[in-house]
């Protein structure tokens, strides 16, 4: 369930504070180390675990689901575009390494800056199509399916 911090690894950089969606990773003012201020509001989303440059944050399972003894550790690398997991079972019989891609392209570079693409024409503005449509619906020159082409009509409103 909730995150906890290995205090000897934490250097108080605050990356976890910056990313935590629940805003519950804070820096202790006395020890200057991160800690989870409200474990019951932790989504165990691992956002802080992945953001921590020192792998100082770990997560344990809920006591009623999983007694201690297991381990799920992670390393996420945007430059390499992968996420690597290591899972150890508490019975000691299983120890797995799993790697998955997080992106297929250099991070963020293939997202267009829409200020720089040609402005939509008046015709586009009056059509019902969105950016990159119709091209991106089929990714080829085939005709689009619509209600008229398929001889269908739409019912209005909610009906029971």
Partner 1 sequence: MSTNYKTIVEDNIDVLVVGAGLGGTGAAFEARYWGKDKKIVIAEKANIDRSGAVAQGLYAINCYMGTRFGENNPEDHVRYARIDLMGMVREDLLFDMARHVDSAVHQFEEWGLPLMRNPKTGAYQREGRWQIMIHGESYKPIVAEAAKKSADKVYNRICVTHLLMDDAKENRVAGAVGFNVRTGNYHVFKSKTVIVGAGGASNIFKPRSVGEGAGRVWYAPWSSGSAYALMIEAGAKMTQMENRIVLARFKDGYGPVGAYFLHLKTYTQNCNGEEYESKWFPALEEMVGKSYLDTEASHVSHRPIPTCLRNHAFISEVNAGRGPIRMVTMEAFQDPHLEEIGWHNFLGMTVGQAVCGPLPT
Beta-sheet strands, E only, within 6-157: 25-27, 34-36, 57-59, 71-77, 82-88, 95-101
Name the minimum Å distance from CB 123 to partner 1.
13
- Out of 7, 61, 75, 88, which residue is the one contacting partner 1 (CB under 8 A)? 61
Minimum Å gap between C-beta 135 and partner 1 is 8
Mask 31-60, x = binds partner 1 (CB under 8 A)?
----------xxxxxxx-----------xx
Longest Cα separation, the chain: 71
Structural element, H or E, at residue 96: strand 95-101
Q: How far is CA 35 from the centre of its chain?
A: 22
**Binding-residue total with partner 1 (CB under 8 A):** 78
SS3 label, residue 48: helix
Asked whether position 137 contacts partner 1 by CB under 8 A, the answer is yes
The reply to whether 107 belongs to the active site is no
- Provide the residue count of the chain: 160
Question: Given the structure tokens 């921590």, which residue do they identify?
Answer: 52
- CB 138 to partner 1: min, Å: 5
Q: Does 95 bind partner 1 (CB under 8 A)?
A: no
Taking CB under 8 A as the criterion, the residue among 22, 37, 55, 75 binding partner 1 is: 22
155 in contact with partner 1 (CB under 8 A): yes
Distance CA 59, CA 67 (A): 12
Indicate which single residue of 9, 76, 80, 88 sits in contact with partner 1 (rule: CB under 8 A).
76
The residue from 23, 41, 43, 96 that is catalytic is 43
For the segment 109-128, give every residue that binds partner 1 (CB under 8 A): 110-115, 117, 119-120, 125
Please tell me whether the peptide bond between 134 and the residue prior to it is cis, using omega within 30 degrees of 0: yes
For residue 46, which of 34, 27, 60 has the smallest C-alpha distance?
60
Which residues are part of the catalytic machinery?
43
């Amino acid at each position: 369930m909730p995150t906890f911090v290995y205090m000897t690894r934490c250097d108080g950089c605050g990356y976890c504070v910056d990313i935590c969606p629940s805003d519950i990773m804070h820096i202790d003012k006395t020890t200057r180390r991160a800690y989870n201020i409200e474990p019951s509001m932790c989504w165990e989303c691992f956002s802080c675990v992945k953001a921590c440059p020192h792998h100082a944050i770990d997560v344990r399972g809920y006591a009623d689901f999983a007694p201690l003894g297991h381990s799920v550790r992670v390393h996420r690398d945007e430059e390499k575009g992968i996420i690597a997991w290591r899972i150890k079972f508490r019975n000691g019989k299983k120890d797995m390494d799993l790697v998955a891609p997080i992106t297929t392209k250099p991070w963020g570079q293939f997202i267009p800056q829409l200020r720089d693409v040609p402005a939509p024409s008046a015709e586009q503005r009056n059509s019902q199509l969105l950016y990159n449509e119709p091209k991106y619906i089929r990714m080829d020159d085939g005709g689009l399916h619509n209600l008229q082409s398929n001889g269908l009509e739409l019912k209005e409103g909610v009906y029971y």
